[in-house]
Amino acid sequence: MKDRIEQFMTTLATGDLEASFAVCPIYVHKAGIKDPSDRAFNADHAQKTMFRFMKRQAALESADTIVATDPKTWLRFVEPPSKFSADELAFEMPDGEGPVLINVGLDGEVSDITAKFLPIEDAGRWHLCFSTFDIM
């Protein structure tokens, strides 16, 4: 799971949401894993949610070229978990069912944003799905 989260966050930092959600599909609570044909819609919804949390962070407040509709301008601040020590990150993996939680690194600092992932079984195969950003 840690490798998949690392890959997701690394891809996210490029600003390519569609590629990021190919690594960890978006989990939509009512519908489960969305069909790949819905990726554009889901990416747009997730983009708005992620930006809402990220725009409040100091790394983005001091930046002068942040455009809400252009994820490359603000996702570039995201850093993968491997950039931080285990002591710096709050990484929670459930013993049984439940969400996987990890703090999001932004511009060299661990932020108070938590990325939430859900291990989901679909058609006999397990997926690590991205759920949301939140402040926890």
How does the average pLDDT of the chain come out, rounded?
85
Q: Where are the domains positioned within the chain?
A: 2-135
Higher pLDDT, 58 or 69: 69
What pLDDT, on the 0 to 100 scale, is given for residue 36? 47
In the predicted model, is pLDDT for residue 8 greater than 90?
A: yes
Between the CA of residue 104 and those of 6, 43, 77, 98, 100, what are the distances in Å? 11, 18, 10, 19, 13
pTM score of the predicted model:
0.85
- Tens digit of pLDDT for each residue in 76-122? 999 999 999 988 988 998 887 889 999 999 999 999 999 999 998 87
Q: One-letter amino acid identity for 35?
A: D
Task: Report d(CA 123, CA 136) in Å as an integer.
Answer: 31
65: three-class secondary structure by DSSP: coil
